[in-house]
Amino acid sequence: MRSYDVCIIGAGPSGLSTAIASSKLGVETAVFEEHREVGASSAECGGLVSVRCLELLKLNIDGDYVANKVYKAVIHSPDGKSLTTSLGPRGALILDRRSFEETLASRALHAGVDLYTGVRVKRIRMGRDRVELDVDGGTYRCRAVVDAGGALSRFTLENLGFNLRLKRLIPAAQAEVEVDYEDDSSVHVFLGRKVAPGFFGWLIPLGSGKARVGAACENGDPRMFLKRLLDRVGASKVYDEATRFILTGGPLPRTFGHRFLSVGDAAGQSKPTTGGGIFTGTLCGLLAGLTLAKATKTGSYSTHTLSMYEESWRNLLGREFKVQLFYRRIFRRLRDEALNSIVSTLSDRRVGGLRDFDFHSKTLNRLVLDIGLSCIKPSILRSLLKSLIPGLLGL
């Protein structure tokens, strides 16, 4: 039976970044990916990330895994008004996920990782001194296992007892389309009950007349909202379409256990405000790799040693997740009138753009301060209260 120090389930951004970090530090690492090829399709993910995300991975921002660069966001309120805001001085990048993960996979192979594609992990058998993985066609042995199998992975529930599905998994539909669209440097965000109740719709330009258009919603069928949005933006041809889940419930209460770590979407480590999880999953993956290297060096995979992973990611992201979750809870209750008033007030006050593409709390806190209760229009206050009172009363 083939043995490794660490086996990782899933070759998404989180699993591959864990593998790169651990293998570079001398950990014998294997990654198992159930699909024959690594990488999400264009319809499965918006691919919008910060420049920081690629810097973290020491990847060039001009690599062919970057499909486009954007600098502005246009926010459309339910009543049809719009607000254009900056995405910060460095803008944001739109990844071709297939090519991004292929690049990470080749880095992982170069670092000495064994990558098994087309191999699904079926079962984990946790022993006192080792772990056994039953996979398609065989069994592997390791000293610790990492669940990086994404939002629907069941291994975190089985090993840590936390059910991600009870946290907010929001259905989303996205398509890559042809669209008659001049401005390739702006993403569009569409708000409102008729567009995407409880979340938002989006258009992410890919250049050359193509875009990713998507909608996620707390109620209803996202495919219906996507269809409406495609009509609204005048999409002429649909290349590819997918329905998946976006995670907005914040991280699990614990992400480590006996010889076990949970990383990325599997651990709920995506931004509660937008569901974006490439940067956060990558960062947590790198931190998981460091902890696994320490465990391998000391020969101790005790929960105490593995708890270092949780301590390190909570130090960097814990507060941010909490603040984003707070704003997410408010946002999902806002009615259309409140959204209209907020967009109109922000346009009047010419607010600055995003301060940081990953750490939204800075921008959100500033917006709240900027608008300030003292200058808030009575109409906004009325609609905010109407939106929030049922939530506060637990209705």
Ligand X SMILES: Cc1cc2nc3c(=O)[nH]c(=O)nc-3n(C[C@H](O)[C@H](O)[C@H](O)COP(=O)(O)OP(=O)(O)OC[C@H]3O[C@@H](n4cnc5c(N)ncnc54)[C@H](O)[C@@H]3O)c2cc1C
User: What single letter denotes the amino acid at residue 191?
Assistant: L
The nearest distance, CB 227 to ligand X, in angstroms, is 15
Taking CB under 6 A as the criterion, the residue among 278, 287, 293, 339 binding ligand X is 278
| 54 near ligand X (CB under 6 A) | no
List the beta bridge partners of residue 203: 188, 213
Taking the least distance from each CB to ligand X, the nearer of 14 and 291 is: 14
Buried residues in 190-222 as b, exposed as e (16+ CB within 10 A): bbbeebbbbbbbbbbbbeeebbbbbbbbeeeeb
Looking at residue 208, the DSSP 8-state letter turns out to be: T
Closest by Cα among 205, 184, 226, 180 to 47? 205
> Closest CB to ligand X among 149 and 340?
149
**Residue (149 or 250) nearer to ligand X, CB:** 149
Q: What are the DSSP E strand ranges found in 87-190? A: 92-95, 114-117, 121-126, 131-135, 138-147, 169-179, 186-190
Cα-flanking dihedrals φ and ψ of residue 371, to 5°? -70, -45
Residue 268 binds ligand X, judged by CB under 6 A: no
Q: Which is nearer to ligand X, 164 or 246 (CB)?
A: 246
State the minimum distance, in angstroms, from the CB of residue 203 to ligand X: 12
Binding mask 112-151 for ligand X (x = CB under 6 A): --------xx--------------------------xxx-
Closest distance between ligand X and the C-beta of residue 349, in Å? 28
**Can residue 9 be called a binding residue for ligand X (CB under 6 A)?**
yes
Q: Site map for ligand X, 10-49, x if CB under 6 A?
A: xxxxxx----------------xxxx----x----xxxxx
Residue 369 phi, psi dihedral angles, 5° rounding: -65, -45
Is position 384 an interface residue for ligand X (rule: CB under 6 A)?
no
User: Does residue 249 belong to the site contacting ligand X (CB under 6 A)?
Assistant: no
Amino acid at 237: K
Which CB, 48 or 195, lies closer to ligand X? Answer: 48
Cβ atoms of 154 and 172 closer than 8 Å: no
Contacts of residue 336, Cβ cutoff 8 Å, sequence gap at least 6: 78, 79, 192, 193
Q: Which range touches ligand X (CB under 6 A), out of 124-132, 268-276, 327-335, 350-358?
A: 268-276
Q: Determine if 317 is a binding residue for ligand X (CB under 6 A).
A: no
| DSSP characters over 117-140 | ET--EEEEEE-SS-EEEEETTEEE
Q: Any contact of residue 251 with ligand X (CB under 6 A)? A: no
Q: Examine residue 255 and tell whether it contacts ligand X (CB under 6 A).
A: no
Among 201, 250, 276, 289, binds ligand X (CB under 6 A): 276
- Could you give the CA distance from residue 19 to residue 11 in angstroms, rounded to a whole number? 9
Tell me the C-alpha distance between 28 and 319, whole Å: 33
Considering only 193-201, 224-232, 238-246, 249-257, which stretch makes contact with ligand X by CB under 6 A?
A: 238-246
Amino acid at 207: G
Kindly state whether residue 361 participates in binding ligand X, applying the rule CB under 6 A.
no
Q: How far is the CB of 140 from ligand X (least distance, A)?
A: 12
Which residues are CB-contacts of 212 (< 8 A; sequence separation ≥ 6)? 42, 43, 46, 47, 94, 174, 175, 176, 177, 202, 203, 204, 206
Report the alpha-carbon distance of residue 263 to residue 370 in Å, rounded.
36
188 makes contact with ligand X (CB under 6 A): no
One-letter amino acid of 195: V
**Count of residues that bind ligand X according to CB under 6 A:** 38
Q: Given the complex with ligand X, which of 251 and 276 has the nearer CB atom?
A: 276
Residue 104 as a binder of ligand X (CB under 6 A): the answer is: no
Counting every residue, how long is the chain?
395
For the CB of residue 270, give the shortest distance to ligand X in the complex, in Å. Answer: 4
The answer to the question of residue 153 lying near ligand X (CB under 6 A) is yes
277 lines the binding site for ligand X (CB under 6 A): yes
Residue nearer to ligand X on the CB measure, 171 or 341: 171
* Interacting residue ranges for ligand X, rule: CB under 6 A: 9-15, 32-35, 40, 45-49, 120-121, 148-150, 153, 172, 174, 214, 244-246, 264-265, 270, 275-279, 281
